[in-house]
């Protein structure tokens, strides 16, 4: 599903690379946690996967798509296969929760009939049934993050990237979000989660990839881990 082969990314000629010849393979339906201190290279890795940035060298293949052969006009289609959830939600403040999720479908030309059928089902997955007409400001931080997850998965992406999704949440709401990510994974979506939260890493007991100074320093099934 995801293959990186000796991938490097440098933002300036002769400068220290943000990623330094990393190799990584993620199977379909895996749940992988990416850990590392700020500046380690986690966000750069995510931006390469969504093609917001291009690698300086190395090979990236996602879902059978070779990024070296990817044309600019094909990038929107690629991004439909990859959902992204951010730490700061990025919901549209002037739209209801229903409208925020529906907007992701409207942008790709889905019919109103299909939107009406799909959005309630996705809101049920993230436990927001009954809050369709609320504005983002009326929800808790955890609820807003779950709404953001709904928006990210409504187009049924093959991969969900969750970049520090619990960074702004208290422990209870953080675990609510993590449980939703696990549910999404059980439905067959590959999940990549970046986090600084050591408790989440230790309790999830998933595969953990640790990045330091742009290099992968460990990659193992998790049996407790110190970030």
Q: What is the pLDDT of residues 67-96, one digit of tens each?
A: 999 999 999 888 889 999 988 888 999 999
Q: What is the pLDDT of residues 174-225, one digit of tens each?
A: 999 999 999 999 999 999 999 988 889 999 989 999 999 999 999 998 655 5
Query: Residues with Cβ < 8 Å from 155, sequence gap 6 or more?
Result: 80, 83, 104, 105, 108
Domain of residue 183: give its range: 28-42+81-221
pTM of the model: 0.92
Residue 17, domain member (yes or no): no
Q: What is the pLDDT of residues 177-187, one digit of tens each?
A: 999 999 999 99
The domain total for the chain is 1
Residue 136, domain member (yes or no): yes
Residue 1, domain member (yes or no): no
Q: What is the pLDDT of residues 125-174, one digit of tens each?
A: 999 999 999 999 999 999 999 999 999 999 999 999 999 999 888 988 99
Residue 126, domain member (yes or no): yes
Residue 98, domain member (yes or no): yes
Residue 226, domain member (yes or no): no
Which CATH number belongs to the domain containing residue 212 in this structure?
Answer: 3.40.50.300
At 204 the three-state DSSP class reads: helix
């Amino acid at each position: 599903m995801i293959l990186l082969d000796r991938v490097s990314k440098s933002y300036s000629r002769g400068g220290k690379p943000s990623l330094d010849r990393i190799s990584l393979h993620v199977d379909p339906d895996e749940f992988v946690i990416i850990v590392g201190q700020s500046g380690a290279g986690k966000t750069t890795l995510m931006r390469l996967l969504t093609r917001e940035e291009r690698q300086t060298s190395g090979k990236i293949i996602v879902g059978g798509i070779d990024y070296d052969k990817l044309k600019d006009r094909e990038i929107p289609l690629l991004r439909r296969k990859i959902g992204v959830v951010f730490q700061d939600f990025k919901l549209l403040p002037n739209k209801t929760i229903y409208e925020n999720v529906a907007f992701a479908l409207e942008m790709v030309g889905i019919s109103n009939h299909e939107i009406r059928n799909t959005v309630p089902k996705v809101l049920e997955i993230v436990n927001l049934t009954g809050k369709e007409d609320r504005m983002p400001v009326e929800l808790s931080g955890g609820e807003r993050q779950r709404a953001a997850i709904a928006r990210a998965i409504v187009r049924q992406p093959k991969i969900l990237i969750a970049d520090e999704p619990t960074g702004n949440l208290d422990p209870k709401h953080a675990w609510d979000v993590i449980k939703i990510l696990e549910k999404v994974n059980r439905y067959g979506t590959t999940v990549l989660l970046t986090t600084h939260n050591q408790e989440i890493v230790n309790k999830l007991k998933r595969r953990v990839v640790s990045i330091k100074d742009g290099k992968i320093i460990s990659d193992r099934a998790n049996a407790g881990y110190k970030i």
